[in-house]
Amino acid sequence: MRIGLVPFDRVTLMLKPVMQLAAVGLVGIVVWKLAAAFLLPLVFLVVKIGLIVGLIMLAFWFFNKKGRGKEDTPPASS
């Protein structure tokens, strides 16, 4: 009398990995969306700060180089 339950058990057994894969995919999409919502602005903030610091360092380098005159050149040896 258990013969009637065998096809149902096979279907359940075959669908379990598919449902598990779908659940893992759904959780992955939710985690990806949350990470994008919270980490992407943080990445942009870090890049913006790095760009500002780099421009300030470039300005210091450029103006210090321009401020130096002939005093950096060694005197002519006779």
What are the Cα distances from residue 66, in Å, to 54, 58, 59, 60, 75? Answer: 18, 12, 11, 10, 20
Token pair, residue 75, equals 């005197």
Q: Tell me, what's the pLDDT at 45?
A: 95
C-alpha R_g of the chain: 33
pLDDT tens, per residue, the chain with 78 residues: 455 555 567 777 778 888 999 999 999 999 999 999 989 899 999 999 999 999 999 999 999 887 665 565 666 776
